[in-house]
Amino acid sequence: MTAMTSVARPPALIPADPSLASFGHDTWWLIALKVVAIFAFLMITTLMTIWAERRVIGRMQSRPGPNRAGKFGLLQSLMDGLKLPLKEDIIPRGVDRVLFVIAPAIAVIPAFISFAIIPFGPEVSIFHHHTPLQLADLPVAVLLVLAMSSMAVYGIVLAGWASASPYSLLGGLRSSAQVISYEIAMGLSFVPVFLYAGSLSTTAIVQAQAHGNALHVAGVTLHYPSWFAILLLPSFVIYVITMVGETNRLPFDLPEGEGELVGGFHTEYSSLKFALFYLAEYINLITVSGLAATLFLGGWRAAWPLTVWSGANSGWWPVLWFLAKVFLFLFFFIWLRGSLPRIRYDQLMKLGWKVLIPGALAWTLIVATMRVWRRDGGSVAVYVVAGAIVAVLLLLVWTWDLSAARAAAAGAGGDDDDAGGGPAAGQPAAGQPSASQPAAGRTAGRPVATAAAFPLPPMDLPHYHGVGVDAGVGAGLAAGPPPGRPSAVSAGPATVADTAREVTGG
């Protein structure tokens, strides 16, 4: 019964910062109040993020965005949220009904659970009960987020499998490969933070960024900032890239593509089930943004020069600083979507496996070596020089790999035009049509893709240009027009335009 009893402690006994010992003393109604507050925060922030995304991208693309429902269109997201559950819920024939129904729940529930370990602020008084502004904390709290992100991908995979659709299945497989690849790099980007903070608890990580540290180089004492985003800049950059891949957002939204997979894993979903997938995506955005603020931007602690004010990190003010950092990351997601195009899938995998994971591994080794060196009383200058050398070597290796890939692509494009084996100038190769007789897969103004390059689909169907229908011209003219339809040609030989009009039904 001790763990369920809340003790009203006098202000003199309130700790300056919460710790793991601050949890486990709340009453049931206080825990329920925190759960409802986090749920309401995630839902309201999701609605505001959708509205902001549509307004900001509309501004970037010179269009108004939502401006009808409510002032400045603020109620548009709410109206869409009320409309989706009222639409017809269609379950296609031949699907696995059980998996088809539970897949959206598997995707959205881990997104809610992950936010339980994110601290909003210090210990405050709620109805005369002192409690930290955080639902729960664990000695391995950050691992909970990684575990929940791994569970959420099961909802996407099961949605693709249960839909009995090739588009949905390919979208689910893409998502599983993408999340696995980028989750490895994300976990490795956390390791330097754990080494510096000495804990996996989010409360301890925020506390570790409370004050700057002294750096002694060549007899000069310097003070480097306390935020891990500056102290561990490579980890921060890797995490920012991987959190975009984890949430399947542009330019990494390969599990869904309008050109090849339609909606991807949720192509066959409608009504409330589709709304749950949509909700899970935006809650994941808020979760990874809150985690980035906690691990790398000092959490709920104020930034300089706000720290000059003595009360900046006490009371309810830290909630404002935390929300400002979260909204900054959400705007970053919106800015990416409005600025960058979707990349190819092979580029996505190459970035994860050949750049992010090796870079995160090398940086983790550098940080671990530094910590051991400092613990044993070694000089920091030696480590800084060694780290710079390793960074230069990694940059050279990456540059060499990039140049080799470009040379290979250029060589593949020029193999067919070698002087020894190519066709004579102006003559088509064997089995290939000439410029005057275009083939079915050739598009005007576009070269034919080589075997080593990626295939380029035609922009439109060849018979729109009268290709491949010359043999049927005579038969079509002899048979005459269909009943009730005037003749496309009156007299004389048939032209390509007439043939194309007959084939397409124009």
Closest residue by Cα to residue 374 from 361, 387, 362: 387
Q: What is the 3-state secondary structure (H, E, C) of 251-304?
A: CCCCCCCCCCCCCHHHCCCCHHHHHHHHHHHHHHHHHHHHHHHHHHCCCCCCCC
**Angle between helices 141-162 and 271-296 in degrees, nearest 10:** 160
Plot region of 65 (φ>0 → left; ψ -120 to 50 → alpha; else → beta) = left
**What is the H or E stretch that residue 132 is in?**
strand 129-133
| DSSP at 310 | T
Tokens of 221: 């004492």
Per the omega criterion (within 30 degrees of 0), is the bond before 139 cis? no
Per-residue pLDDT at 295? 93
Please state, in angstroms and rounded to a whole number, the distance separating the CA atoms of residues 91 and 184.
35
**Sequential DSSP letters for 203-253:** HHHHHHTSS-EEEEETTEEEEE-S-HHHHTHHHHHHHHHHHHHHTT-TTS-
Closest residue by Cα to residue 307 from 323, 296, 321: 321
Tokens of 222: 């310097």
Closest residue by Cα to residue 229 from 209, 252, 211: 209
CB atoms inside a 10 Å sphere around CB 418: 8
CB atoms inside a 10 Å sphere around CB 421: 9
Please state, in angstroms and rounded to a whole number, the distance separating the CA atoms of residues 57 and 339.
9
CA 291 to chain centre: 14
**Sequential DSSP letters for 8-35:** ---GGGS-SS--GGGSS---HHHHHHHH
Per-residue pLDDT at 368? 86
Dihedral of CA atoms 94, 97, 101, 107 in degrees, nearest 10, equals: -70
3-state SS class at 122: strand
Q: What is the Cα Rg of the chain in Å?
A: 30
Question: Residue length, the chain?
Answer: 506
Please state, in angstroms and rounded to a whole number, the distance separating the CA atoms of residues 132 and 138.
14
**Residue that the structure tokens 């999340």 belong to:** 179
pLDDT in tens, the chain (506 residues): 334 444 444 444 444 577 777 787 888 899 999 999 999 999 999 999 999 999 999 999 888 888 888 888 899 989 988 988 888 888 888 888 888 999 999 989 988 998 999 999 888 888 888 888 888 888 888 998 888 888 888 888 888 888 888 888 888 888 888 888 888 999 999 999 999 888 899 999 998 888 766 666 666 666 666 889 988 899 999 999 999 988 888 888 877 776 666 777 888 888 888 899 889 989 999 999 999 999 999 888 888 777 777 778 888 889 999 999 999 999 999 999 888 888 888 888 888 888 899 889 988 988 888 888 777 766 666 666 777 777 787 788 778 877 887 888 787 765 555 544 444 444 544 444 444 444 444 444 444 444 445 555 555 555 545 555 555 544 554 455 555 555 544 444 544 444 444 444 44
Per-residue pLDDT at 97? 87
- Long-range contacts of the stretch 216-224 (C-beta < 8 A, 24+): 216/380, 217/380, 217/381, 217/384, 218/381
Going through 346-498 in order, the beta strands assigned E by DSSP cover none
Sign of CA dihedral 129, 135, 138, 140: negative
In Å, the largest CA–CA distance within the chain is 104
Sign of CA dihedral 417, 423, 426, 431: negative
Please state, in angstroms and rounded to a whole number, the distance separating the CA atoms of residues 462 and 446.
13
Evaluate whether 298 touches 166 at the Cβ level (below 8 Å): no
Per the omega criterion (within 30 degrees of 0), is the bond before 305 cis? yes
Per-residue pLDDT at 5? 42
Evaluate whether 336 touches 251 at the Cβ level (below 8 Å): yes
Evaluate whether 295 touches 239 at the Cβ level (below 8 Å): yes
Going through 342-389 in order, the beta strands assigned E by DSSP cover none
Tokens of 160: 């693709």
| DSSP at 20 | G
Per-residue pLDDT at 394? 75
pTM over 0.85? The answer is: no
Evaluate whether 164 touches 267 at the Cβ level (below 8 Å): no
